[in-house]
Amino acid sequence: MAAILRSSDIAGARFTPTKFREGYSQDGVDDFLDAAARALAAAESRGQLAVAPELTGDDVVNVRFQPTKFRAGYDQDEVDAFLDRIVTALREHESAAG
């Protein structure tokens, strides 16, 4: 089992670029990962999520990115696998918060 993801792990995330095959919008993924890193950093500093968390595990499950095909994108399977790790980390903090 992999260690629980930390906010610093999100900043270092890299995905295989795509071009001429479907991928996720790089800007959309990058913006969302920035929000996820902030949410995890807040949870780590407090030991739990805020009363009104910026981002929940359900938010991550429900996020949808603009698909790309003829411009650079990120490999969808790699992004989805990384999002699964973010969900696990957020839900760990959510369950600890009560």
In the chain, where the domains are located: 17-97
Instruction: Say if pTM beats, i.e. exceeds, 0.85.
Output: yes
pLDDT (tens digit per residue) in 36-56? 999 888 888 876 544 446 788
What amino acid occupies position 44? E
Sort strands 17-18 and 23-25 into parallel, antiparallel or unpaired. Answer: unpaired
Beta strand extents in the chain (DSSP E only): 17-18, 23-25, 67-68, 73-74
pLDDT (tens digit per residue) in 51-94? 446 788 999 999 999 999 888 999 999 999 999 999 999 988 87
